[in-house]
Structure 1
Amino acid sequence: RELARSVLPVGAYTEFYWTVNARALMNFVSLRAAETAQREIRRYAEACERFLAEQMPITHAAFVANNRHAP
């Protein structure tokens, strides 16, 4: 059911701005970068984690030390 979009024609692209705090970003990454997540969202979550590591290295280090679980 979720993979139906892979065979449907893509007629539009979406651009958006996302406002998020560190805790919500860590929660998103921990859920969506999991092996059980769909490949497309996993790639996006991995990009978000790279952003977190670059912009907030201390917070990211704590996130990794906590087994990638949001507090």
Structure 2
Amino acid sequence: MSASNSGSVLLMRKLVQQLRLEASVERVKVSQAAADLKNFCLQNAHKDLLLVGVPSSDNPFRPPKSCLLL
């Protein structure tokens, strides 16, 4: 067997091993995954700063207050 043939055989064995690994992964139906994701989002919405906002005391991007000396 030539070096290119043995390299090709090795590559094919690795490919078959990878395909077997991927085939053994447990699958979840898209409808179930979507329902789980929706439930997770609804349960954690109160923690999501994009939904509830950032308290002004914790916001590092709030506009600076200016001082006025008279």
TM-score by length of structure 2 reads 0.28
Between Structure 1 and Structure 2, whose CA radius of gyration is higher? Answer: 2
**Bigger relative contact order, structure 1 or 2 (CA pairs below 8 A, ≥6 apart):** 1
